[in-house]
Amino acid sequence: MDRVLKASVGRPSACAALLFGYALSGLCAAPAHADPNALWRIVHDGCVPHFEAGQGPKPCEAIDLNGSPAEGVAILKDRVGVAQMLAIPTRRITGVEDPQMLAPNAPPAFSDGWTAKARVEARLGKPLPREALSLAINSQYARSQDQLHVHVDCVRADVAKALDGYKASLDDQWRPMTIALAGRSYFARRLASNDLSASEPLLRLVADGVPDAGAHMGAMSLGVVGADFDGKPGFILLADVFSLEGGGSAETLQDHDCAIALTAP
């Protein structure tokens, strides 16, 4: 971790063409990469007040406030991809480095993101096996937006195939994988859960379990891929760190064209 960059080197991926098609509070006046707070303004200034006024969550797809805006998560269709959704806390949380996401009351961005599977399927017009869907959060150095957002989309077909052959070697401890995924060496573990709703905050699992991660959370990225272990539902958790060699973007495990849907039953 001593080679982790301590300052942003630009904002190369995450949401590079993001969301300015929404005519909301003048947000379409400039390209998305010029405003790292665009997502926050869309949710805070548009989706939440519209929802609270009984006008629906527009321009978001859905909002679950879980009792208050401080606890809620909005689901927004990303302009990138045929079906990609974003799960965005309705509380101000900058990203993976924000300690709020390690607390017991962290907004359920990952479990609500998994629930958005139905919305991905609706866009695709067909159901997906759980192994075909993934969640991803990028590191502080590989994102374009400074409001935490979880990418919800299809997993790359080659990644899904590799994980299917590798999952038997996983247990509930983080270990370096012996194979590469999308050209990167990930730490991986399994998680027994149907929908992530009963799990402790996933980023806490990263902070406490991946070597040195707790002191460098801004450099961490997390991928979550649905899985089946001995007939029981679960997930494969995949952690990567941004360094001088690259990485820190679990979004690269996803396919925003969702080619895997073509082979789904």
The rounded distance, in Å, linking the Cα atoms of 189 and 72 is 28
| Residue among 194, 222, 193 at smallest CA distance from 207 | 222
Q: Which residue has the tokens 């995949």?
A: 238
- Whether 19 is in a domain gets the answer no
- Whether 205 is in a domain gets the answer yes
Roughly how many angstroms between the first and final C-alpha of the chain, as a whole number?
42
Domains identified in the chain, total number = 1
Cis peptide before 107 (omega within 30 of 0): no
- Whether 14 is in a domain gets the answer no
| pTM to 2 decimal places | 0.88
**Residue 63 sits in which domain range?**
27-262
Q: What backbone phi and psi angles, to 5 degrees, belong to 222?
A: -135, 130
- Whether 93 is in a domain gets the answer yes
CATH number of the domain that 161 lies in? 3.30.428.30
Instruction: Please give the structure tokens belonging to residue 40.
Output: 């926050």
How far out from the chain centre does Cα 231 lie?
25
Q: What is the pLDDT along the chain (265 residues), one digit of tens a residue?
A: 333 333 333 333 333 333 323 323 333 233 445 599 999 999 999 999 999 999 999 999 999 998 888 899 999 999 999 999 999 999 999 999 999 999 999 999 999 999 999 999 999 999 999 999 999 999 999 999 999 999 999 999 999 999 999 999 999 999 999 999 999 999 999 999 999 998 789 999 999 999 999 999 999 999 999 999 999 999 999 999 998 788 999 999 999 999 999 887 7
Strand order across the beta sheet in which 232-241 lies? 62-64, 73-77, 85-89, 150-154, 133-137, 220-229, 232-241, 187-192, 175-176
